[in-house]
Structure 1
Amino acid sequence: MPAITQLMSRNPVSVSPDDTLAVVKEIFDQVKFHHLLVVDNKQLMGVISDRDLFKALSPNLGTAAETTKDLATLKKRVHQVMHRQPISLSVGAEVMDAVRLFNREGVSCIPVVDSFNRPLGILSWRDIMQALEKKQPRAE
């Protein structure tokens, strides 16, 4: 099995703890991934998922029932919603370390950080599944 650095997505998209949920929504509306790293002073502070965003925003946004109060949910800050101190892996971790974390912690992504807690990439369980599929010979 390849190293996690070969499987992870490099240069992950990140936001600041002080960014608004409007910024996060705009990013998620334009991309196909489901997690953003929250970075402050180049250090990993947390993770925010599209599910976290969905829970934090009013369901009336963009509907005829939308009110000023609904629009205000877009002004919430990332630090109010993010998962703090996320589980992460160091560059030297092995794929089985990631598998154990996915199974034990119930997370769907794991940031990969250097020794200074600076994010280098993000690993999803899908990345591992895709690597496994490539490793197996195709059935005829």
Structure 2
Amino acid sequence: MAQFVREVMTFGVVAVRPDASLVEAARLMRAQDIGDVLVADGDRLIGVITDRDIAVRVIADGNDPLTVSVGAVCTRDPVCVGPDDGVAAAARLMRSRAVRRLPVVEDGRPVGVVSIGDLAVAENPDSALAEISLANPNNEG
């Protein structure tokens, strides 16, 4: 069983600048088959934007995703973990903050993301959540 976040996290950072358009962020999510991107100014983490943020905070309110910046709707100052933090501590943090993903930061710089799916695969690979997380994304439409 994995003990540390570094054993289960997805390494590498997919990020956009705070002044990027939501369309740019959405296209990056589609190209990478991911549901979130980090928002960064250079090496400094500003926030996180998810596909759900775009749908709920922008589209559902009738705003134009071409004119709204990522920085205007992202979750600012997200709760983060380090690669040497425990997997159990990351799971408790996700539960207490009701989040599905945590940026992983080392020496002040984002180095990856750990998701609830990553934890499920590591802790119980036979669970329904683990199977869903391991499945190829549905690219219909």
1:118 partnered with 2:109: yes
Q: Does 1:23 align with 2:24?
A: yes
Matched, 1:13 2:5: no
Name which of structure 1's ranges 85-94 and 127-136 shifts more when overlaid on structure 2. Answer: 127-136
1:135 deviation in Å?
A: 8.9
Normalised to the residue count of structure 1, the TM-score between the two structures is 0.80
Correspondence for 1:94 among 76, 86, 89: 86
User: Does the 8 Å contact 1:22/1:75 carry over to 2?
Assistant: no
SS of alignment partner, residue 75 of structure 1: coil
Q: Is the 8 A contact 1:16 1:40 kept in 2?
A: yes
Q: Aligned partners of 2:83, 2:52: CA distance in 1, in Å?
A: 27
5+ long unaligned stretches in structure 1: 60-68
Deviation digits for residues 61-118 of structure 1 (CA, Å, limit 9, x no counterpart): xxxxxxxx86x43221111000000000122201011011011000000011012x21
Aligned to 2:55: 54
Amino acid at match of 2:72: Q
Structure number with greater CO (CA < 8 Å, separation at least 6) is 1
Match of 2:87, as an amino acid? V
* CA distance, structure 2, for counterparts of residue 43 and residue 22 of structure 1: 22
**Distance apart, 1:132 and its partner CA:** 1.6
Question: Which protein is bigger by CA-based radius of gyration?
Answer: 1
- CA-atom RMSD in angstroms: 2.0
4+ runs deviating over 3 angstroms: 56-59
Runs of at least 5 residues in structure 2 that lack an aligned partner in the other structure: 128-141
What's the TM-score once normalised by structure 2's chain length? 0.80
For these two proteins, the number of residue pairs brought into alignment is 125
